Structure 1
Amino acid sequence: MSDRHFELPVHPNLEYYRKQAKHLHHAYAAGDTTADTTAEARVADVLGGRAAERFLLSDALFVLAQEHGFRTWAEFRVHVESRGTTEERPVSRLMGVRPGIYAAMADALLVELRRADPRALRRLRAYVPRHATTATTATTAASTAATVELRDARLVIARELGFPTWRELVSFTEKSRRDRGERRERRRQLRREAEALLAGDADRLAGLTAEQADTLLRLLAGPEAIPGVRLDKELGVPRAAVEVLLGKATDLDLPLTWAARFDRLAYVRLLLDAGADPGARKWGITPLENAVYHGNTEVVDLLARYGVVPQALWTYAACGRLDLVRACFDADGRLRPDAAPARPDLADTGAGFPSRLPPSDDPEEIVGEAFVHACQHGRTEVVRWFLDRGVHPDVAPYLGRTGLHWAIPGGRLPVIRLLLERGADPTIRDDLLQVDADGWLRITFAARPYDPVTQQLHELIGSGSH
């Protein structure tokens, strides 16, 4: 299963790519900058100066194949024809930054690749087909490091963000920034209506269009979108006013996804009662995934009563469903092949996290993912069950975050105590923040250092570090 940006075509066929090649061929030949502003640069990047003498349709096909990471058009054609209807997971990982930020990320990756950094080479092999079969010996790593190009690094960044080529990443990044500006302007224009919602002015809200109602309902999903009020787990505005909007809206699923992210528990309940689909994947993520990633356990429990979506070992563990976790293993204790149709990736939150290293099919890695999310949500019985099966308490399947790191932000005292009793090491530092368990504690509870839970956590972690 591959990831694609949710606005891209689903399963483009060979004819789609042939048309793209024809478009590139015509745009380059005509020098028409209005048709394709990057045609000349695209061709030069692959063919260098020889295209100035001759640029045929076969050359355009070759450029397209190279942009997708293949050596030849023939290899790319085989890939497209063999892909069929393979499932692709829609994702939304753009961070709203300038394309130059992604270019800088690619430059940094290229430096790591030329140093033959093992993690960088793993990313290269996963996302650039012409390097996919490269063995992992020291000799081949050095050879790859010597021949890797900037466009290889750029393709890795594009693929991690859900785009098949660098060109499409840049194009959609610019579109995303325009869309964000337009959404910001629509929210600004609805300031008076937002104030009417806060005041419960149902008569004024009754005159809104469906599009305006949709926008207000999305605003209500955030914690500080309504002027003058901080919205938390409670609804925070008169219910009758919200019901006016619910009756006009055309889309309840996107507000549900955002409300799950921001721990808007009462609003999540209201949206579900109004018919929002708890299994919808909006902007590349389901409401349950959003709630799991952000540690919103009450929302996780509420959504799980409607169904666990996606159905996978890690979501079962995060929901505390030990019965479903057990069912993911056969009578001999082996992980079933269908236990991991979806894998966790914090990049899907839209909060700017880097994409994880490409996941492997290693059962220990898959189990580790489930284990750390069980720790995150305080599912003590699930955590104990995994530990009893031999899972190491310091397993860190992605971003270098152990179960202890995941459990601290939610103050999961029973889980933290259990992990330390089983030998968890609080001095381990994660890959992202480069801090140990005490560092996670200080960051998470900086605003309430004298809270009783904070004090208990300090005592537990302090005793475990000796």
Structure 2
Amino acid sequence: MSDRHFELPAHPNLEYYRKQAKHLHRTYETGDPAAKARVAEVLGDRAAERFLLSDAQFVLAQEHGFRTWAEFRAHIDSRSTTEDRPVSRLMGIRPGAYASMADTLLAELRRNDPAALQRLRAYVPRYATATSAATAELRDARLIIARELGFPTWRELVSFTEKSRRDLDERQEKRRRLHRETEALLAGDTDRLAGLTAEQADTLLHMLAGPETIPGVRLEKELGVPRAAVDVLLSKATDLNVPLIWAARANRVEYVRLLLEAGADPGTRKWGSTPLENAILLDNTEGVDLLAEHGIVPQALWTYAACGRLDLVRACFEPDGRLRPDAASARPNLADATAGFPSRLPATDDPEEIVGEAFVHACQHGRIEVVRWFLDRGVHPDIAPYLGRTGLHWAIPGGHLEVIRLLLERGADPSIRDALFQIDADGWLHMFHAAHPHDPVTRQIRDLIESRSR
């Protein structure tokens, strides 16, 4: 799996980084403030006396987490050029949010938190064999956040975060200019909509995919606007796949249904993930069920489990119980769908980890038959392939009471805290169900957790 953001060069080679070093050397010599700041962060005052090309190469190596240019060069030469999966959309999140995440992580590193040490070893090469994280610096914490989001360096994360803000502002301005057209859509004015350009129709269809992208309107699972008006837009559209991706993300179930009927491709992959992967990773079970009727894409153990297809899950294993190689042809990557938040350590080929991914996504979507089947096969109820987030954590947001009961009956520990939010099962319940604490399902889940905690 690639660790590279989808907007970055697909396969940067040694020559690419040599040119970057030369550019840094030139811009530093001209007094460029950004270049001087980069160099000072690594070399301090030393560069003021002498700054050679070799020093620029050293700065690049350090920014990527390596001790030396030689180690960085060896890493580049050893990389596979066949793996290139884009990750992590940045949807207008401000750079300060990532700086805050890095500050929090640095505090965890300084107190040598085991999960933070894992992340340090995974993403900062010079700490690959470290037994303590206490000596880590702020730039190490920032590099970890950047790498978890698909960026080779913190500088590139900040640069593309700022770009995402500009892109978001441009999209919002474009939508504001369609005020009268949006009014026509809401009123079902098909005559006015018939005069729109294809670009305007595409923009309105894109807006219709989000819950709050139309000013003053909250769209839920229902279509929410007159069907005849949407049909006019569909007849003019040039691309139905982008709206499908966003509608799957927002659980706009009836709009997903309409787009599929109109010819949108359920197998399309945009920004690293398919509509089904978006629906799975964002807890949209109704959308998962609808998309699965049109085909499970990608075909893999974790998607079969999330869709509740026990027959397909079983087929992923050999008669002797070994995992079939094709069961892991596609792996989940939460950063593809969670819009700029880290989700896991780098995936490995460990069959236990692959099975763990499938297990927690079955918990996430309340697929109790699949969950029970995995538990009967010996999967531990507290397996946590994503930064300490167990099946119990995954089942709570959707209120999957029967799955939660089964996990607790099989020994799940509600006191376990995930590595990202540092909260236990009761904390997850409060985080996702605080708005309706007296809901019968919420109260039953709380009772189950409290009874297991005694």
TM value normalised by structure 1: 0.87
Match of 1:388 among 359, 376, 390: 376
Whether contact under 8 Å (2:120, 2:144) holds in the other structure is: yes
Q: Tell me, in whole angstroms, the C-alpha distance in 1 between the residues paired with 2:318 and 2:44.
A: 55
Q: Which range is displaced more, 53-62 or 6-15?
A: 53-62
5+ residue gaps in structure 2? none
Whether contact under 8 Å (1:93, 1:162) holds in the other structure is: no
Q: 1:426 offset after TM fit, Å? A: 4.5
Q: CA RMSD in A?
A: 2.8
Whether contact under 8 Å (2:87, 2:333) holds in the other structure is: no
Q: What corresponds to 2:268 in structure 1?
A: 280
Match of 2:308 among 306, 320, 325: 320
1:262-311, Cα deviation, whole Å (9 max, x unpaired): 11111111212223222223233321121112222221122123332333
Match of 2:143 among 147, 150, 155: 155
**After TM superposition, what 4+ stretches of structure 1 lie above 6 angstroms from structure 2?**
none
Q: What corresponds to 2:398 in structure 1?
A: 410
1:7-53, Cα deviation, whole Å (9 max, x unpaired): 1121122332222222222212222x3xxx51112222233333334
From the superposition, tell whether residues 382 and 232 of structure 1 become closer, same or farther in structure 2 (CA, over 3 Å).
same
Q: Tell me, in whole angstroms, the C-alpha distance in 1 between the residues paired with 2:117 and 2:424.
A: 27
Q: After TM superposition, list the pairs within 5 Å mapping 1:247-266 onto structure 2.
A: 247-266=235-254
Q: What corresponds to 2:232 in structure 1?
A: 244
Q: 1:463 offset after TM fit, Å? A: 5.4
1:336-387, Cα deviation, whole Å (9 max, x unpaired): 3443344434443335644324444433332222112112212122111101
Q: What corresponds to 1:335 in structure 2?
A: 323
Q: What corresponds to 1:7 in structure 2?
A: 7
Whether contact under 8 Å (1:197, 1:241) holds in the other structure is: yes
Q: Which range is displaced more, 82-91 or 216-225?
A: 82-91
Give the letter aligned to residue 71 of structure 2: E
Whether contact under 8 Å (2:91, 2:165) holds in the other structure is: no
Q: Which range is displaced more, 329-338 or 285-294?
A: 329-338
Whether contact under 8 Å (2:85, 2:272) holds in the other structure is: yes
Percentage of matched positions with identical amino acids:
79
- Give the SS at the match of 1:38: helix
Q: 1:205 offset after TM fit, Å? A: 1.9
Q: 1:432 offset after TM fit, Å? A: 5.0
Q: What corresponds to 1:46 in structure 2?
A: 42
Q: What corresponds to 1:198 in structure 2?
A: 186
Whether contact under 8 Å (2:382, 2:390) holds in the other structure is: yes
Give the letter aligned to residue 74 of structure 1: A
1:170-219, Cα deviation, whole Å (9 max, x unpaired): 11111111111122222222222111111111222223233322221111
Q: Tell me, in whole angstroms, the C-alpha distance in 1 between the residues paired with 2:424 and 2:125.
A: 37
Whether contact under 8 Å (1:122, 1:358) holds in the other structure is: no
From the superposition, tell whether residues 117 and 435 of structure 1 become closer, same or farther in structure 2 (CA, over 3 Å).
closer
Q: 1:151 offset after TM fit, Å? A: 2.5
Match of 2:167 among 179, 183, 188: 179
Q: Are residue 305 (structure 1) and residue 305 (structure 2) matched?
A: no
Q: Which range is displaced more, 266-275 or 103-112?
A: 103-112
Q: 1:453 offset after TM fit, Å? A: 4.4
Whether contact under 8 Å (1:263, 1:291) holds in the other structure is: yes
Q: What corresponds to 2:16 in structure 1?
A: 16
Q: Tell me, in whole angstroms, the C-alpha distance in 2 between the residues paired with 1:89 and 1:346.
A: 13
Whether contact under 8 Å (1:94, 1:350) holds in the other structure is: no
Q: Which range is displaced more, 362-371 or 424-433?
A: 424-433
Q: Which range is displaced more, 454-463 or 42-51?
A: 454-463
Q: Tell me, in whole angstroms, the C-alpha distance in 2 between the residues paired with 1:445 and 1:165.
A: 36
Q: Are residue 126 (structure 1) and residue 116 (structure 2) matched?
A: no
Q: What corresponds to 1:291 in structure 2?
A: 279
Q: What corresponds to 2:385 in structure 1?
A: 397
Whether contact under 8 Å (1:109, 1:153) holds in the other structure is: yes
Q: Which has the higher contact order (CA 8 A, sep 6+)?
A: 2
Q: Which range is displaced more, 239-248 or 265-274?
A: 239-248
From the superposition, tell whether residues 128 and 337 of structure 1 become closer, same or farther in structure 2 (CA, over 3 Å).
farther
5+ residue gaps in structure 1? 135-139
Q: What corresponds to 1:83 in structure 2?
A: 79
Q: After TM superposition, list the pairs within 5 Å mapping 1:204-215 onto structure 2.
A: 204-215=192-203
Q: Give the paired residue count.
A: 454
From the superposition, tell whether residues 456 and 385 of structure 1 become closer, same or farther in structure 2 (CA, over 3 Å).
same
From the superposition, tell whether residues 105 and 95 of structure 1 become closer, same or farther in structure 2 (CA, over 3 Å).
farther
TM value normalised by structure 2: 0.89
Match of 1:67 among 63, 67, 86: 63
